[in-house]
Amino acid sequence: MSTGNGHTELPIPNGWFAVAWSRDLAKGEVRRARYFEQELVLFRTREGRVYVLDAYCPHLGAHLGEGGRVIGETIRCPFHAWQFGGDGVCTNIPYSKKAPPKKARVRSWPVEERNGFVFVWHHHEQAPPAWEIPQLPEFSDANWTEPRTSELTVPVHIQDMAENNCDPVHFRFVHGNLALGESSVTPGEESHYFSAWSKTNQETPLGAFDTELERETWGLGLVSVRTKGIGDAGLLMLAATSPVDRATTTSRWIFTVTQDMADLAGEDFIAGLEAGVQQDMRIWKNKIHRANPVLCEADTELAFFRKWVRQFYPNDRPVRVADLKEARG
């Protein structure tokens, strides 16, 4: 479906998506959020478990994220003090002698905490999670620096942001990487995952290096980028990107480098990645989505991505790994 300004309205995709930083929710804290075109409430119980529920109380519609508070392992509505457990079921109505009605419940979303993020599983048919979120080893390794973070909201559909990961040519014309070399994409054993690899020449405070970018993708919501080739240094960016609605996307980044590179090039690495995102912003803010783009013979990775991404939308059949290997070219 196309809107009047030429944009194609893609649905909200299925998958795991970050809705907060883990640090955003201390024990007993409640936060309001909006993702997947829905109002949500996030809270961390006294025992430390994070839950995400639909925001509006089934009683008279109060927003649980506006004045709601944690009571033990439940959240209490600010309007009439109805309490809801992490499963969304009402556990207590303080002024009623009878048990809460069976309909006194709100939707509870599958939640996982990984790599400093709170992830929620979204599926258009509310099917259970189809894969697990990986825990990256760098974040628990003392040889890596304390992670730095950044966050940005962009007026674009999440697919248009994710597509950059399979568009090596844009690194030359948008980001000025004139020495961009060969690149490839490899499907994983499970269809929601693929890896991509490319070569480039990078200028650093230590000189110019022929580097390799290793990118891993889990659905549309999580991408890691590792830079290798600068001696024994390690450079990692992890991006968690989430749909607020069909035309708005929030992306959160974590950056970390090996301790031996922190003073020499770590700051430049982080600053360069953040600057690169700003270079993409002008494109994202002013582009439209082409549902059926005209591709050239060199756009093999883009063709792969367009076939791969269909599995995350309603009314599309699961994508077979064998088909993805064919699409890779």
Mark residue 268 as left, alpha or beta (left: phi above 0; alpha: psi -120 to 50; beta: remaining): alpha
The tokens of 225 are what? 């980028």
% of the chain surpassing 90 pLDDT: 64
pLDDT tens-digit series, residues 56-74: 999 999 999 999 999 999 9
C-alpha distances (whole Å) from 232 to each of 100, 164, 227, 228 are 61, 27, 11, 8
So what's the pLDDT on residue 1? 39
Q: Backbone phi, then psi, for 269, in 5-degree steps?
A: -60, -50
So what's the pLDDT on residue 324? 67
Sheet holding 50-54, edge to edge: 30-35, 38-44, 50-54, 108-109
| Residues of each domain in the chain carrying CATH 2.102.10.10 | 15-122
pLDDT tens-digit series, residues 290-316: 989 999 998 999 999 999 999 999 876
Q: Which CATH class, in words, describes the domain spanning 15-122?
A: mainly beta
| Residues of each domain in the chain carrying CATH 3.90.380.10 | 137-324
- CATH number for the 137-324 domain, one of 3.90.380.10, 3.30.70.270, 3.20.20.70, 3.40.30.10? 3.90.380.10
Q: Is the pLDDT of residue 2 over 50?
A: no
Q: Is the pLDDT of residue 5 over 50?
A: no
So what's the pLDDT on residue 71? 98
pTM: 0.90
The tokens of 102 are what? 């069976």
C-alpha distances (whole Å) from 8 to each of 2, 127, 165, 166 are 4, 26, 20, 20
Q: Is the pLDDT of residue 96 over 90?
A: yes
In three-state secondary structure terms, 102 is coil
